[in-house]
Structure 1
Amino acid sequence: MENWIKRRNSRVIYVGNVPIGGSNPIVVQSMTNTFTEDVESTVKQIKRLEKVGCEIVRVAVPSVEAAEKIPEIKKRISIPLIADIHFDYKLALLSIEKGADCIRINPGNIGELWKIKEIVKSANEKKVPIRIGVNSGSIPKKILTKHGFPSPQALAETALDYAKLFEDLGFTKMKFSLKGSDVRTTVIANQEFASKTDYPIHIGITEAGTLLSGAVKSAVGIGILLYLGIGDTLRVSLSADPVEEVKVAYKILSALELRKVGVEVISCPTCGRCMVDVQAIAEEVEKKLEGIKKPLKVAVMGCAVNGPGEARFADVGIAGAGNYFILFVKGNVVEKKLTKEEALNRLLEEVKKLAGES
């Protein structure tokens, strides 16, 4: 299939063993909502995130105790770990010392220049990349006065100033994030920044909201940026289980044909012709196939109008017709007149067979 999106040409950095930028796949990350000091809960949540495809994870480091737990957490997980630091430069230094694969800071709340210099010196010595975050609440007074409010241009100018500052300090192993809580600010700020630098960019809509509203807002904002070729890593920020963030992220990437991971379930919208409970069946199929990583298209259709045609274009599909179902595999009718239970079981069998699982 022809690639319909031309990605921005960004430089490549590594977070742990994960390459970010250039022509590498757009990396999906999330953040734990556990207390990092609670190693058991944090590791358990990261394992759940790994299972659904999270490739980098960020943990909050608000205390010395949290930073001290980084080595123990890293021993028990399989993906790179980013330490999220605010205000206290000493926590950044300690996180680097304890083996964080990357640190995330907002220079606007770190304070004096000498503190930033200490962080840069340590990161350079340990070859640890830094994610520089910029948001509306931490724009320097000089820039805020110039623009009058936290405009997209103010966000972009702040990020560009930080890039210059870190370069002057001899540090270039950076990625940037410019986030607003609304789509317009985030998109324009990232466009402005992306047009003037080749540093990798982490994208997302901050404080997006709960599962439904946050997923919609994130899909719109992240989708626009990805269509424009902007974005090397992403997080869907939701007031929900972090596992849902990863699931939504992959659905956004899949919808734009940028990454195909796992099963895509397509199902017809319900209408007066629908003779079966498509919603319940589709939700059950999605849940049972969550762990499969091979990209497959599975159709669950509910009537004789669009059902058979759509199901034929999927790798595996079922189409309901009143009291029975038809099973399609690779466009061919395999079974006719199956009961709901038979159709569901046969569908799952065929998917697992195509995925190479027993």
Structure 2
Amino acid sequence: MKKNLSKLVLISIVFLAGFSIRHIRSLWEPTRAFLLRSQELYTNQWPTKAVVFTTVSKVDSKEQKNYFIKSTNTKPTPLLVSLHHWNGTYKTIDSMAYFAAEADINYLRPNARGENNNPDACCSDLVMEDITEAIEFALNNGNVDQNEIYLVGVSGGGYTALCYYLKTAYNIKKVSVWASITDLNAWYRESKIRKAHFVEDLLNCVGATQDSQNLNILLEKRSPLYWEMSASNLKDTKLSIYAGVYDGVTGSVPFSHSINFYNKLSEHIGAVEDSIFVTNDERLYLYEGLWTNKNPFKTIQDRKVFLHKEYRTVELTLFEGGHEILYDHAFNELLPNQ
């Protein structure tokens, strides 16, 4: 037994020694990113710089708690607004807070009516106003460069970010959304097939039952895919949309949500050439998993990219992954100089 154990240890040492320095270096970046992402799983606490503040809605006088990290820099610094996921709240630990604290920039985590399971939530007018009031607090209490406001969210946070992107009067410089829900009516049907708890959440969001005749209309009213889109409305805000090609199979939001939003937005801001849009042939290529037989043209972080489209201020990236956000890439893309 001891001889076998010694042999196993020796084999392991030889195997590890076989890695060159180049291989070890190639593993470091994804490992570093994983460790940073994992902080939200293992620390179960916010950075020491993070403080809770309360806003009182100008619309219905209800209190909303939010997290804020104030930069200690003497010069105005960016503000990163990070929106919680579908069943999250301001309390949900966010890896972006660690990135912001390390970079010494301003960070904001609005509660925005908390979990999306009631009519006050789900991108209601109350949610939009709550986010605005939280940003106003940051502007009044932090040393914020008002030309450097950024918005990020994944899943339900990406959904809320897209809604705010379409409605805000603020000069948001860039928005980064990942695995986003864009059509609640479609997601209701998709969740129903999966027997997911989101079905009840969606019904509660619009105050309806499965038998309600106007259910589809109520859900569409809360969906950014059906909201007004125009070049003048969106100003110069840049929008980056990301989705994993496994999402919808192993994840809860099919990547078609991201494709549909990108296509519709591109058309509304003036795109006409077929090459700008995600075509039906490209959809089939993605749905049927044909990308597995094709070399990617680039990578983001440690992931292969199989489709990238861009028009004016909006871009779409479909990468090898599931229902997730690549925190390292998201932060560095939004704030490359931090």
For the superposition of Structure 1 and Structure 2, which TM-score range results when normalised by the shorter chain? 0.3 to 0.5
Larger Rg: 1
What is the TM-score when the length of structure 2 is the normalising length? 0.34
